[in-house]
Each structure stands twice: as structure tokens, then as C-alpha cells.
Amino acid sequence: MSSNVIKLVIAAVLFVVAGVLIVSFLGDEESARLPDDAKLKPVVFLCMECGHHFELSYEEAKSALAAAPERKAPVESGGARARSASRRGLPKLITCQKCGQAEAVRAKQCGEGDIYVPLYNPDGTKGECP
């Protein structure tokens, strides 16, 4: 082999090793951004089909969301909210514990009552408390 080919192979190997090291040190980006106490709080989901809300542990929610298929928003020429949802993508839907439909999205509680709204609606728009 010529010296140029050997140099090219060595450069490629070093590039791959550097990439593996970067990925291993960065780890799970979402998990790394969360403070430790946030990982202890349950994650709330709301079924858009039957209205049932339920909680999963951080690890259960992470696993369920990882298993859920990606959803892409259609590109729309509508207002700013539609364009923002299109760029962000649609929220992942997981299976509801009550009705079994894959229609549950992450949710938040509104005030002290028993009212829950999605963080983001299935169409990608931000959920809002009444």
C-alpha cells in the first residue's frame, strides 16, 4: 500500500474513534439536561381518545416514548403556530393504560383540580389550560 492510503486509513480510524468517544461522553442528551430530582417525578400522560390521565416513572416514560413511532407534521403555509408545529414535529403517542389506544400524549395539570391538558396537542399546537 502507498503511504497516502495508509494515512487515509489511519485518519478514518481516528475519526471513527473520536465520534464514538464524543457520543459516549455526551450520553442521552435529554436525560443529561434534566436535574436529578426531575427524574424522580412521575411523567403525566393524557389519552386524547378516552380522556384518561395516568403517570409513568421517568424511566417508563422514556422507554414508552422511545418505542413510539416518529410523527411528522405536514408542511403548512398557515400561521406561525402551524409553521412552529411543523418544524418541531408532532408529539409521540403512547398506548393508553385504560382504553389501549395509542392516543396518549404528555400532559400537565391545570392548577389544583383534576383538569389535565396536553403539553402539545396531537396536531402539534401547544396545549393550554382553560
pLDDT in tens, 117-129: 999 999 888 999 9
- 71 and 111: one domain? yes
117 forms beta bridges with: 108
Strands (E), 49-130: 53-56, 104-109, 116-118
Range of the domain at 63: 34-130
Q: Do 53 and 26 belong to one domain?
A: no
Q: Please count the CA atoms within 13 angstroms of the CA of 10 that sit on its side-chain side.
A: 7
Confidence of residue 28 (pLDDT cuts 50, 70, 90): very low
Question: Do 22 and 40 belong together in one domain?
Answer: no
Give me the sheet containing 53-56, strands edge to edge.
Answer: 53-56, 43-47, 104-109, 116-118
Cell of 19: 465520534
Query: In this predicted model, which residue has the larger pLDDT, 41 or 78?
Result: 41
Task: Report angle CA 118, 121, 125 to the nearest 5 degrees.
Answer: 120
Please check whether residues 25 and 43 belong to one and the same domain: no
Q: Which residues of 101-114 are buried (b: 16+ CB within 10 A; e: fewer)?
A: eebbbbbeeeeeee
- Do 1 and 54 fall within a single domain? no
Residues 71 and 38 in one domain: yes
Residue with cell 416514548: 65
Q: What's the number of domains the chain is made of? A: 2
pLDDT number for residue 111: 86
